């Protein structure tokens, strides 16, 4: 049975949204290799579906705290690619005036409250936002995104326990891409079901296929509704893969032979394109999603590169001790 035109348009919109992230990350890689972007950069290629599906369920007042692999989350939350690229390029038009760079940028006006280079540090911050929401009347739901490696950070467990004990509206999303930096997660834990740690703390938890937009969207919709209704925190373990190194320059010698080839078949963009084609959607419509995204990112990069560099004398502005 063929899909309805509305369903097809929704899925094409998802495909385009994922291509916007992929195209931006590939442009960031190129600019970093050209040394126009400096410093450590971590890309989210292969994990785009989690950000796209999760952010589609968030409301304007909700607060998102991403890991340092957060460019895609910023795009999915609505931050303009030009201003993201300008930030990474140390331009004055960046979301933080060129001061934050890749690892520390934020755009709270879009509900994106930043990345954090300290593994797992976004979890207690998100809990603080949820605690504040109890008193400020905002109705805010807070979201903390982190990787499987962050589950072994004490601050994450403490944050989850605090949220559970006080019934706070926090959604904890673990992007389980199988690797904690360069080490397989299964070599670091006795129980590979990370969601059971949340269950043990009294937090409703679910494991989903992170490459399946519908699974992520359903889990996120239920979690947002529960948090907004005052029923406390939720935990989503989304299984996915990154199809690039942990950082730019990573030789990826830890990967077993054939793993990346297998990942390229199941990664969310290839998967959704294949599903659309099977459903009878023409190749032109599918390819158009990529072309539109790449054109947007190329224009954004050109504009950002033409913007003025940040004035070094402003480096100490907006610092508080």
pLDDT higher than threshold 50 for residue 1 = no
Mean pLDDT of 264-271: 98
| Model confidence band, residue 2 (pLDDT cutoffs 50, 70, 90) | low
Strands 170-176 and 234-239: parallel
Mean pLDDT of 81-86: 98
Mean pLDDT of 260-279: 97
Element (H, E) at 86: helix 81-88
Mean pLDDT of 293-304: 98
| Model confidence band, residue 320 (pLDDT cutoffs 50, 70, 90) | confident
The pair phi, psi for residue 146, each rounded to 5°, is -155, 170
CA angle 211, 217, 219 (to 5 degrees): 100
CB contact at 8 A, 149 and 186: no
pLDDT higher than threshold 90 for residue 321 = no
CA dihedral sign of residues 299, 11, 22, 277: negative
Quick one: pLDDT at residue 146?
A: 97
Q: Give the pLDDT confidence of 104-128 residue by residue, as tens digits.
A: 899 999 999 988 889 999 999 999 9
Which residue in 8, 120, 6, 130 sits closest to 61, CA to CA? 130
Quick one: pLDDT at residue 319?
A: 80
| Model confidence band, residue 318 (pLDDT cutoffs 50, 70, 90) | confident
Mean pLDDT of the chain: 95
């Amino acid at each position: 049975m063929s899909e309805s035109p509305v369903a097809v348009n929704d899925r094409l919109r998802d495909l385009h949204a994922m291509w916007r992230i992929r195209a931006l990350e590939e442009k960031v890689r190129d600019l970093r290799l050209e040394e126009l972007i400096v410093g450590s950069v971590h890309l989210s290629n292969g994990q785009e579906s989690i950000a796209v599906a999760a952010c589609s369920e968030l409301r304007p007042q909700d607060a998102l705290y991403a890991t340092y692999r957060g460019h895609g989350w910023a795009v999915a939350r609505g931050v303009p690619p030009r201003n993201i690229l300008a930030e990474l390029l140390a331009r004055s038009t960046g979301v933080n005036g060129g001061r934050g760079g890749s690892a520390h940028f934020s755009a709270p006006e879009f509900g994106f409250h930043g990345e954090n280079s300290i593994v797992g540090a976004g979890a207690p911050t998100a809990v603080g936002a949820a605690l504040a929401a109890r008193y400020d009347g905002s109705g805010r739901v807070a979201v903390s995104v982190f990787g499987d490696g962050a589950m072994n950070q004490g601050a994450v467990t403490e944050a989850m326990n605090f949220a559970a004990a006080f019934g706070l509206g926090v959604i904890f999303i673990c992007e389980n891409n199988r690797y904690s930096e360069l080490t397989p997660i299964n070599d670091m834990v006795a129980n590979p079901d990370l969601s059971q740690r949340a269950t043990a703390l009294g937090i409703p938890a679910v494991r989903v296929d992170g490459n399946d937009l519908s699974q992520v969207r359903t889990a996120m919709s239920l979690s947002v509704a529960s948090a907004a209704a005052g029923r406390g925190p939720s935990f989503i373990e989304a299984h996915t893969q990154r199809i690039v190194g942990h950082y730019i320059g990573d030789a990826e010698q830890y990967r077993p032979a054939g793993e990346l080839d297998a990942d390229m078949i199941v990664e969310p963009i290839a998967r959704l394109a294949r599903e659309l084609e099977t459903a009878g959607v023409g190749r032109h419509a599918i390819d158009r999603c990529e072309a539109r995204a790449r054109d947007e990112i190329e224009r954004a990069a050109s504009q950002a590169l033409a913007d003025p560099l940040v004035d070094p004398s402003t480096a100490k502005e907006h610092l508080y001790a």
